[in-house]
Structure 1
Amino acid sequence: MTSRPELSVSFHNFWPGFDPKTFFLTRELMRRFNLRFDLCGRDLQFFSVFGKELVPTRGRERALRVWFSGEVFEPSRMIYDLHFGSLPESLWGKRWVRCPVWSAGINWWDDTSPYSPSHLLAERRFEPREKFCNFIYSNRTSFRTEFFDLLGKRRRVDSCGRVLNNVGDPCVDKFKAVSEYQFTIAFENALSPGYVAEKLIDPIVARSIPIYWGASEAKTDFNSDAFIFARDFQSFDDLADHVIKVSDSREAMERLVTAPVFPDNRIPEQFTASHYVNLIVEALSTPQTTIERHALNDTLIADQPGYSRKGKGLERLGKRIGKHVARFARMPLR
């Protein structure tokens, strides 16, 4: 049996509580390499936006630098060899790879997870549910609360989170809570090209019809027949009226719930962990003179200027990303 080559890696400025061994890119790399986790990776260094750690260098030759953020950020004030972010394209050209947050939550390593390909691509069944619609958020935004109020005037919407809670204590198990409802209000925090986070895939997996507001790329990342795309409507009133119409039709609900999750019932290759790691491996095997690893070896500084002012917000954001990326390791099949 051929032994796997050793790879020295390190992680810098990731979210609080980040565990590199459960990170989706790490898990795929471990299929191909014996990873050694160092304070300063000799071969490969990953960076994110949740800190301002200065990273030492090793003389003239340096490791491959890979930047990752699933949120609406772009790297600044540092130079990287590969960038994984939400934007569909960038001036970095081939060094920029669109990596939406939802793709980081696909569990390629455990078939019992509801986020595994075997579950996501399986035939989807429709089960009637008495509860109408849920709204689960911890951060208040005006457009989300406006639609919650508007739809709630037509039919009761349960707010099971901390914002506008009307059911008592906030839910502890979001997946279980969402699984009890016909619909889920699934609005992103912001509208940005390519930004499709976990808010769409979570209710789809729970077989609750998402009422989704976000980037238009959602309609090509996923099967557009499996959710209601809010931006297809002229107004929130039109959207709310449509949701009520669908709720009153078992046939319409069944058609949405049983539609394949992805176009042609296949997870797009460009959003697989193996594809992302293939790009990293290719970059690792490319001579520095070809990949143009810029000679910024003396000082590395924080990616996001003003981190001290935005620290609490970034920390909350990071915890949310961390929960999404890591939860597949412990979520049972439902």
Structure 2
Amino acid sequence: MREIKVNFVDFWSNLDKTDNYFYNLLIKKYKVVIDDDPDILFYSCYGREYLKYKCTRIFFAGENVRPDFMACDFAFSFDFNKRENHFRLPLYSLYIDHHRKLEEVMALKTREEAKAIWNLKSKFCCMVVSNGDSPERLDFFKNLSKIKRVDSGGGILNNVGGKVADKLEFIKDYKFVISFENKKQIGYTTEKILEPIFTDSIPIYWGNELVNEDFNSGRFINHNDFDSQEALINRILEIDNNDELAIKMLMEPTFSTNKLPHEEEHIRVLDILCRIVEGDKKPVAKQFWIHIHRFKLELYSVKQNFKRYLKTFFKPEK
């Protein structure tokens, strides 16, 4: 078995370098060694350490950030992008492997199973959020809370006595879960819609306007389907008061028929990685383009700092 050296940088802080989506695919074909001088570097959007490496670079979009192909040789992101060196791999796909076996996510429930699950749901609705930059999400939480109690277990608007330690364990008792993305962007679908499905709850989703390309519209409540928050809230209350509607939703398949099956996705991603390893896809992110990319980052940083300065300088007096 051929040995390859890889490394992972600029990912979320708790990424396990020897137990993650890409590593677990590669070890099916190769002896994979984590090395500070790798043949292939996987990087995401939470830092700039990737700029130190001169090997083949593979970008993964962990946030609502588009790949800069000046810096990477290949990119996996949420984008519906037809480039030869890009493959659509939304963040939620990584959560399927991390949290649940595929058969658990895909398994259809009988009416009796769904009814028993719904009858165990003792609470109405919750939210677990620590990012306060989404006014749509906070506004909806406040408006729904005026009608019926909504629990908040995250760092924002917390009303349960502190941040919960285990999100999935917390939300499993709730009928509905507010599953708003941080930002609205075509194709950008994270774990937020999937986690309530893991716990047999009903997601209330806002974000990707093409979310129905990935998830079965019958399995969640889509903010985009309603003309107003009032209409959306009325639909939530209707389901809350009609067990048959809720049971029917729990019996629905998780994913859209348009979605590439998860096992087929594994095959395609591994095929891409193998072609990169075997040299069919040569590095194209030359050092000249890396320098241009670095200059763009510095320019962006200067612009952001200048905006913050203007906000502070021209902040109106209370």
**Category of TM-score, reference length = shorter chain:** 0.7 to 0.9
The sequence identity of aligned pairs, in percent, is 29
Contact kept in structure 1, 2:45 and 2:62, CA below 8 Å: no
Picking from 97, 110, 134, the partner of 2:126 is 134
Picking from 59, 65, 74, the partner of 2:57 is 65
Q: Deviation at 1:83? A: 0.5
Whether 1:7 and 2:8 are equivalent positions in the alignment is no
Equivalents in 1 of 2:19, 2:99: separation in Å?
17
Whether 1:99 and 2:92 are equivalent positions in the alignment is no
Amino acid in the other structure paired with 1:237: E
Q: Which has the higher contact order (CA 8 A, sep 6+)?
A: 1
Matches within 5 A, 1:1-334: 4-42=1-39, 44-53=40-49, 54-57=51-54, 63-76=55-68, 78-89=70-81, 93-107=83-97, 115-124=100-109, 125-126=113-114, 127=117, 128=119, 129-140=121-132, 141-263=134-256, 268-269=261-262, 272-287=265-280, 291=281, 293-294=283-284, 296-297=286-287, 300=290, 305=297
Equivalents in 2 of 1:244, 1:295: separation in Å?
53
Amino acid in the other structure paired with 2:52: V
Contact kept in structure 1, 2:11 and 2:62, CA below 8 Å: no
Amino acid in the other structure paired with 2:44: S
Give secondary structure in 2 for the equivalent of 1:185.
strand
Contact kept in structure 1, 2:90 and 2:189, CA below 8 Å: yes
Label 1:77 to 1:94 Cα distance change in 2 as closer, same or farther (>3 A).
Answer: closer
Label 1:102 to 1:292 Cα distance change in 2 as closer, same or farther (>3 A).
Answer: same
Label 1:69 to 1:295 Cα distance change in 2 as closer, same or farther (>3 A).
Answer: closer
Equivalents in 2 of 1:267, 1:76: separation in Å?
25
Label 1:195 to 1:77 Cα distance change in 2 as closer, same or farther (>3 A).
Answer: closer
The CA deviation string for residues 64-118 of structure 1, in whole angstroms up to 9 with x for no partner, is 321111211123373322111111116xx121111111001122xxxxx861112
TM-score (norm 2): 0.83
Equivalents in 2 of 1:272, 1:39: separation in Å?
29
Equivalents in 1 of 2:172, 2:212: separation in Å?
22
Give secondary structure in 2 for the equivalent of 1:35.
strand
The structure where helix makes up a greater share of residues is 2
Contact kept in structure 1, 2:202 and 2:220, CA below 8 Å: yes
Amino acid in the other structure paired with 2:168: F
Label 1:270 to 1:229 Cα distance change in 2 as closer, same or farther (>3 A).
Answer: farther
Equivalents in 1 of 2:170, 2:226: separation in Å?
27
Contact kept in structure 2, 1:103 and 1:272, CA below 8 Å: no
Q: Deviation at 1:275? A: 2.2
Give secondary structure in 1 for the equivalent of 2:212.
helix
Q: Deviation at 1:14? A: 2.8
Contact kept in structure 1, 2:76 and 2:86, CA below 8 Å: yes
Label 1:146 to 1:167 Cα distance change in 2 as closer, same or farther (>3 A).
Answer: same
**Gaps (5+ residues) in structure 1?**
58-62, 108-112, 312-334
TM-score (norm 1): 0.79
The CA deviation string for residues 133-183 of structure 1, in whole angstroms up to 9 with x for no partner, is 111111222111111111112221112222112222222111111100110
Label 1:47 to 1:238 Cα distance change in 2 as closer, same or farther (>3 A).
Answer: same
The CA deviation string for residues 230-282 of structure 1, in whole angstroms up to 9 with x for no partner, is 11000111101110011110000001112111235986248733321211112
Equivalents in 1 of 2:69, 2:256: separation in Å?
38
Alignment-derived partner of residue 313 in structure 2:
none
Equivalents in 2 of 1:114, 1:47: separation in Å?
22
Question: How many residues are aligned here?
Answer: 292
Equivalents in 2 of 1:261, 1:215: separation in Å?
16
CA RMSD of aligned residues (A): 2.7
Amino acid in the other structure paired with 1:22: D
Alignment-derived partner of residue 319 in structure 1:
none
